[in-house]
Amino acid sequence: MLKLVIGSKNYSSWSLRPWLALAHHDVTFEEVFVPLDQPDTRARILEYSPAGKVPILIDGDAKVWESIAILAHLGERFPEFDLWPKEFPARAHARSISCEMHSGFSHLRRHCPMNLRRRKKTALTPEVEADVTRVTEIWNDARKQHGTGGDFLFGAFSAADCMYAPVATRIRSYEIPVDAVSAAYVDAIYALPAFRKWYDAAMNEKWRHAATDAIA
C-alpha cells in the first residue's frame, strides 16, 4: 500500500498537496503523521527521506520527496486519473504554473503561512501584494484559457489545483482581497470533498504552532 508521510494538517501546506491528489481519487494509502517542530521531528523524517522534509511518498521500493515530484510520480502511477491535464497546451501550462508555485511566492508564503484555523485580516507588504497579484493572474489565465469544463484551473481538478490549494487557503485565512474569478476559485477549493476532509481533521488537531498563531 502507498504510504504518505505528512506533517500537521492545520499548518503543513506542502503535505496537503499530494494528500489532496490521493484523497480526491479515493486512493487507499497509509498516512504517517510526524508532528513538526518537535525535538525529534528531524530524526523521524530522516527515517523516510534524506531531505528531512515532508511530504514523502513511499511506493514500494520507490521513495519520492518534494511535493511537485510526488505529483509527477502520481501522474505516471495512475494515468487513468488525468492528474495532469491530458492535452498538451493545457498540460504544459499546468506544469509551468505548478513549478512556478513550487519555486516561488516566498513573500506570501513567509508572511502568511498556512493556518487553516485562522480567519483574520493582516497587513500586506508590497512584496506580498506583488505575489498575490501574480497568483491571481495565474488563476485568471488558467480559468479563462482552460477552465470552462469545471470549477478548477483546468476545468476538472488537477495537480495544478493540488499545488495552489494551500495558496487559496491563505487568501481566506488572511482575508486577502481578490477579484471575483479568484474568489470563486478559492470557494471551489473549500467545497472540494477531499479538501473538506483535510480541513475537518485540521480543525480537530490539538497541536499548535505558537509563532504562526501569533501573526497579527
Ligand X SMILES: N[C@@H](CCC(=O)N[C@@H](CS)C(=O)NCC(=O)O)C(=O)O
169 sits near ligand X (criterion: CB under 6 A): no
- Residue 125 CB: number of other CB atoms within 10 A? 11
Give the whole-angstrom CA distance, residue 26 versus residue 22.
6
Residue closer to ligand X by CB (options 147, 166) is 166
Q: What 3-state class would DSSP assign to 180?
A: helix
Are 73 and 17 contacting, i.e. CB atoms less than 8 angstroms apart?
Answer: no
74 sits near ligand X (criterion: CB under 6 A): no
36 sits near ligand X (criterion: CB under 6 A): yes
Q: Which three cell numbers stand for residue 162?
A: 493540488
| Residues touching ligand X, count (CB under 6 A) | 15
49 sits near ligand X (criterion: CB under 6 A): no
Residue closer to ligand X by CB (options 128, 162) is 162
Stretch 127-156: interaction string toward ligand X, x if CB under 6 A: ------------------------------
User: What minimum distance in Å lies between the beta carbon of 43 and ligand X?
Assistant: 10
User: What minimum distance in Å lies between the beta carbon of 68 and ligand X?
Assistant: 6
Residue closer to ligand X by CB (options 42, 120) is 42
| Residues 6 or more apart whose Cβ sits within 8 Å of residue 29 | 1, 2, 3, 4, 22
Are 162 and 21 contacting, i.e. CB atoms less than 8 angstroms apart?
Answer: yes
By CB under 6 A, what part of segment 91-110 binds ligand X?
Answer: 102
User: What minimum distance in Å lies between the beta carbon of 50 and ligand X?
Assistant: 13
Strands 56-59 and 2-6, how do they pair? antiparallel
